[in-house]
Amino acid sequence: MTVRRALLPGALLVLLAVWPWVAPRYFVFLASVVLVNAIVALGLNLLSGYTNQLSFGHAGFFAIGAYTAAVLTLRAPGVPVLVTLAVAGALTALVGLAFGVPCLRLGGLYLTMATLAFGFVIAEILLNLDTLTNGADGLRVPPARLGALAFATDTSRYYLTAAVATVLVAAAVNLVGTRTGRAFLAIRESEIAAQASGVPVAAYKTLAFGLSAFYTGVAGGLFAFVVGFLSPDAFDVFLSVDFVVMIIVGGLGSVPGSILGATIVTVLHDGLAAFQNYRPLIFGAILIACMLFMPGGVTAAWSRVARR
Amino acid sequence: MHFVFCLVTVALALGAAAPAAAQQGVTDTEIVLGCSNSFSGPLAYTGEQATRFGVDLYFKALNDAGGVNGRKVRTVYYDDGYKPQEAVANTRKLVEQDKIFAVIAPQGTPPVMATLEYLEENRVPLLFPFQGSPVIRGKKYVFSGMTLYDRQSRMMIDYLVGPRKLKSFGVLYQDDDYGKAFLAAFEKDLARHALKLTATESVKRGVTDVSAQMAKLRAAAPQAVFLVLTPGPGAQALKERQKIGWNDVVMVSSGPLTDEKYLALAGDASEGVEGLSLWPDPVTSDLPGMKTYREAMQKHFGKNEPNRYSLSGYFAAMLFTEGARRAGKNLTRETLVSALEGINGFQSGILPPVSIGADHETQRQGFWVRVEQGRFKQLTDWLKSD
Amino acid sequence: MTTAALVHVVVSGLATGSIYALMALSLVIIYNATRTLNFAQGEMLMVSTFVAWAAQRALGLPLPVTLVVAVAAAGLMGWLVERVVIRRAIGATHWDVLIITLGLSLMLRAGAGIAWTHDEFPFPSFFGTRPLALGPVRLAPVSLGIIAASLGLMAMLYALFTWTRLGRAMRAVAQNQRAARLMGISVERVYSRAWMLAAMVGAVAGVLVAPVVFLSSKMGLIVINGFTAAVIGGFGSMPGAVAGGMLLGVVENLAPLYLPSGIRYSVPFLVLTAILLVRPAGLLGRVEQRKV
């Protein structure tokens, strides 16, 4: 990597590392939320941006990861947080794979509808598994633990989230160079051509579901620790829609796009909070303007500008 | 790169631009209160009424009269859309950026529960949340804002089983914390009378049709059916009852449901329906405090009709002011808590005399009503819930 | 559970299903013509119904005129949205348009809340409240009325699509846009008319359903059920939308009758999933054969 190309990611990494020292406490919390959303956006992009399977049910995967991490920390407090997150991710991935298989037969809108149904059903299941999830009353999440260390402050939780996010972003960036990544890109360009070239499309599409679910599940676990409280109300279809907005605004099928989209949407949503009931009005207007003036999302617009 | 710089600058500017109020949200001239509430989402109407047309209504009048102990009250609100994670973010922002003194009148059990631990940790008082789940009991800095659901249930069951001599009950409840809390309370209170619920049916928020649930309830033939719903589905249930001609049952609305909105929506299907009323009639009651409330509403928000949601916010502000007044010049979070605990026999002109005490419950009252000609007619005096 | 009660519940389900069918139809009309999913469909019909309601209250209009106002407002809104917003995004992908309609739905819902508050309001009904007795069975006039009105509207739409020039043009554009253009059909005009027509169908649904679920800023969320219905029936197929809607309405009502609280709300989605497993393009849809 040339010095110039490494400059931006390098600067971002530095900013990431020093953020709790330069930002007020609330913005450390907000940054954790941004990072969690960025991981989900990455995962969603793997599915929707790369293999064209638009999902409006990712709040479901998010919820599975969140509740898994929470319940595990409650029932088995000795387990180190990284293991907890890995388990949350793995369980969610299994669900994703299981769900991805029947979805192979579905195309376009039908698939999207199936994901919508998935999201609803997961929320219902979590609401009714009272003994495990505390149902409608909501579940308080104890702090994550790593041996004797408890992640009980905003700063510690931020670093946990940032560390996990960095690893997952690096993995996503590397993925593009691997065989799997090339297969995904091929499927995105043309499913039929990929199939004709010998790419086992069905296997990769299912894998995409699993990977996407893994990312989202891990993010869900982090979310549980950052927010500290879970309730089925939190994981409704509007959350799923928020995730989709993030990747489309950022730019489909792009790792920087996912991060950028998540950042923009989260910060904007937070920044407009003082407008109370005017907030959706302004946010909606910004979304419309965004897509009218930056078709293809921010990264697409950026490349157009950069190319000039 | 440039973009990142801008983002960072904006973020830091946002941080730096926070109002430079005193550490605890109290200065010689000002007290800052706030909450995260619903200004969008399923409970947007109640949220807006309780805050902007309730809490703020009282404080407008108070500030015009010079404030409390020379301090005017300012409020800050953020929208959480009934999402617990948004409530957490908003509440942190209020405490850390806006530096509020206390949280007043937030809404809903999940959003409030989500913020509970954070507020307790940071010793920020949580005053009079608009929710009735008993889970908020026993917290040092929390004061209830509604007659809690278990008290409401006790009053309702004791009244119906006692003086009204009813024996079989059904429940149509909303499938969330509100509905389920009441369900559990009903079961417990009936058990005290050696009775059980005959039939229970759940309804999802935002439902379009309750015909199946009502048909099942009817098949079980209870003498009375409790409605633990919000005004929309509640009115739908009444209309459905009218459609199927199920006239020999008493429909009983829970405290939060017993309000004029529900009657307006149900129209003539509401005739004869009973319920537990938590407040006097906002429009017709001639209690002195109610008159003042209506006059203030007319003056500041002429187009807004008096209603129970804004009334509860108004009352919350009134209670806070009484506590702040008693705490005096040295207003800290601790002195406020002690002052509120010491409230004994406070005459609001709206509710029976309020006495708080160490259990931090500010409301324990309710009285029975029946709908006659489109309005709630009071049938009993204030019921006991102890 | 008596048979009479069961019949009542099913008829009630058919009424709700008719509303879902109308919503599904309006979604399908836009999708067929423009390949766009209109996220704001529900909010557009909600605003049209609110406008009609406000007019009715201010001017004391009789109910049929109120319906006309709602339909006219919807037509205008559909035309405006398509011309001012959607057409500007003509070069964009359908993802972008999705976000645009989403942004629009947010704006409309917030706007309605600002204009009329987020409160719920009773809406006058065309149909009386006294039940019709057919032997032991009691049927609510409002259910029958909704079913009849919806069927009437569907018949009108059928006539429109089969026998009018506009209808044939819309079908042509739905089949093959390029070929339609080559045949001299103004695709832009079809787009515009599709948006207007869909909005107007939605407005009728709004006026029919508002007395039942009450008029409020969140009334537009019903369109999610419309979407589900359209997919069940086969997205793009109009008879499918109708069948899907009716089926969904009845299933939604029967589920609480026979299933406990834990599972009853998932049933519509489980039914959807089951149908898609067996028929991946919905009941009456055809799997799109993409040729290279």
Give pLDDT tens digits for C111-121: 999 999 999 99
Q: CB A231 to CB B118 under 8 A?
A: no
One domain for residues B53 and B179: no
- For residue C6, the chain B residues in CB contact (below 8 A) are 215
Please list every residue in chain B whose beta carbon sits closer than 8 Å to the beta carbon of residue C138.
243-245
As for how many domains chain B has, the answer is 2
Enumerate the residues of chain B whose CB falls inside 8 A of the CB of residue C117: 45, 48
With an 8 Å Cβ cutoff, are B15 and A227 in contact? no
Cα–Cα distance, C160 to C193 (Å, whole number): 12
CA distance A82 to chain B (A): 23
Q: Give phi and psi for B362, each to the nearest 5.
A: -95, -20
DSSP letter for each residue of B226-240: EEES-HHHHHHHHHH
Select the more confidently predicted residue: A108 or B369.
B369
Of A124, A244, A280, the CB nearest to C265: A124
Residue of C nearest to B43 (CA): C118
- Check A137 against B133: CB less than 8 A apart: yes
Q: Which of A209-213, B381-385, C76-80 has the lowest mean pLDDT?
A: B381-385
> Does a structural domain hold residue B7?
no
Q: How far apart are CA B105 and CA B99, in angstroms?
A: 17
Tell me the three state secondary structure of residue C51: helix
In chain B, whose CA is at the least distance from the CA of A276? B79
B325 and B178 in a single domain? The answer is no
Average pLDDT along chain B, 386 residues, taken 10 residues at a time: 56 49 77 95 94 97 95 96 94 96 95 95 95 91 94 96 95 93 96 95 89 95 96 94 92 94 92 95 94 96 94 97 94 94 94 93 94 93 86
In sequence order, what are the residues at sequence separation of 6 or more whose Cβ sits closer than 8 angstroms to the Cβ of residue C43?
A: C104, C105, C108, C109, C112, C220
Q: Are residues B44 and B100 in the same domain?
A: yes
Q: Which pLDDT does position C85 carry in this prediction?
A: 85
Shared-domain flag, residues B124 and B81: yes
Domain encompassing residue B79: 21-147+286-355
Do the domain assignments include residue B221? yes
Please give the pLDDT value at position C288. Answer: 65
CB A23 within 8 A of CB A31: yes
- What's the confidence (pLDDT) of residue B9? 52
Residues B141 and B153 in one domain: no
* Between residues A304 and C40, the one the model is more confident about: C40
Cβ <8 Å between A230 and B90: no
Helices marked H in C176-237 — which ranges?
A: 177-182, 187-213, 223-233
Do B110 and A231 lie within an 8 Å CB cutoff? Answer: yes
Rounded to an integer, what distance in angstroms lies between the CA atom of residue A21 and that of residue B383? 56
Residues B139 and B251 in one domain: no
Of A120, A249, A290, the CB nearest to C269: A120
Q: What pLDDT band is residue C289 in, cutting at 50, 70 and 90? A: low
Let me know if residue B136 belongs to a domain: yes
On whether both B122 and B207 belong to a single domain, the answer is no
Question: What's residue C290's pLDDT?
Answer: 60
pLDDT at position C177 is 84
CB contact under 8 A, C213 and B232: yes
First to last CA, chain A: 23
Q: Any idea what the Cα angle at residue A256 is, between residues A253 and A259, rounded to 5°?
A: 100
User: Which of C242, C232, C236, C245 lies closest to C283 in space, CA to CA?
Assistant: C232
Neighboring chain A residues of B180 at a CB cutoff of 8 Å: 135-137
Q: What pLDDT, on the 0 to 100 scale, is given for residue B18?
A: 46
* B84 part of a folded domain: yes
User: Which pLDDT value is given to residue C117?
Assistant: 93
Q: Is residue B362 part of a domain?
A: no
In C89-118, the residues whose Cβ lies within 8 Å of chain B are 109-110, 113, 117-118
Backbone angles phi, psi at B243, to 5 degrees: -65, -40
Q: Do B96 and B31 lie in a common domain?
A: yes
Contact B119, B103 (CB under 8 A): yes
The whole-number pLDDT of residue C133 equals 83
- Cβ burial A229-261 (10 Å sphere, 16+ → b, else e): bbbbbbbbbebbbbbbbbbbbbbbbbbbbbbbb
Query: Mean pLDDT over residues A92-97, rounded?
Result: 96
Tell me which residue in C12, C129, C264 faces B211 most closely, judged by beta carbons.
Answer: C12
- Same domain? For B273 and B321 the reply is no
What phi and psi, each to the nearest 5 degrees, are found at residue B198?
Answer: -75, -40
A194-208: pLDDT as tens digits? 888 888 888 899 999
**Which residue from A68, A43, A60, A41 is spatially nearest to A119, judged by alpha carbons?**
A60
Contact C247, C232 (CB under 8 A): yes
Residues of chain C positioned with their CB less than 8 A from the CB of B219 = 1-2, 5
Whether the per-residue pLDDT at A188 is higher than 80: the answer is yes
d(CA B143, CA B319): 11
The minimal CB distance from B215 to the residues C5, C118, C217 is found for C5
Chain B contact partners (≥3 CB pairs within 8 A): A, C
Top-confidence residue, C13 or B19 = C13
Residue B197 sits in a domain whose CATH number is 3.40.50.2300
Give residue ranges of B with CB < 8 Å to any C CB.
Answer: 40, 42, 44-45, 48, 175, 201-202, 204, 206, 208-209, 211-213, 215-216, 218-219, 231-232, 235-236, 239, 242-245, 261, 264-265, 267-269
What's the pLDDT at B1? 55
Nearest chain C Cα distance for residue A88, angstroms: 24
* C-alpha to C-alpha distance for C31 and B116, rounded to whole angstroms: 46
Same domain, B265 and B380: yes
Give the span between the Cα atoms of C265 and C226, in whole angstroms: 16
Write out residues 79-108 of B within 8 Å (CB-CB) of A: 79, 81-85, 88-90, 92-93, 96-97
Q: Are B67 and B155 in a shared domain?
A: no
Please, are residues B143 and B341 in contact by the beta-carbon 8 Å criterion? no
Angle at A140 between CA A137 and CA A145, to 5 degrees: 160
Whether residue B54 is found in the same domain as residue B143: yes
* Most C-contacting residue of B172, B202, B211, B229 (CB-CB within 10 A), to test interface: B211
Does any domain span residue B85?
Answer: yes
**Which one of B45, B209, B301 would you mutate to disrupt binding with C, by most C Cβ within 10 Å of its Cβ?**
B209
Strand A149-151 versus strand A144-146 pairing type: antiparallel
ipTM: 0.93
Place of tokens 């809903």: B108
| Contact call for A117 and C105, based on CB within 8 A | no
Q: Which two tokens stand for residue A264?
A: 């923009």
Domain for residue B14, yes or no? no
pLDDT for C155 beyond 90: yes
Query: Of B23-27, B298-302, C196-200, C208-212, where does mean pLDDT reach its minimum?
Result: B23-27
Q: What pLDDT is attached to residue C204?
A: 96
At residue B14, the pLDDT reads: 52
- Amino acid at the residue A225: F
Return the pLDDT at B381: 92
B12 vs A contacts (CB less than 8 Å): 22-23
**Smallest CA–CA separation between C123 and chain A, in Å?**
24
pLDDT, position B121: 93
Amino acid A249: pLDDT:
94
| Closest chain B C-alpha to A294 CA, distance in angstroms | 15
Task: Quote the minimal CA–CA distance from B44 to chain C in Å.
Answer: 6
Listed by number, the residues of chain B in 129-168 with a beta carbon closer than 8 Å to a beta carbon of chain A are: 133, 135
**Cα torsion through A65, A71, A77, A82, rounded to 10:** 0
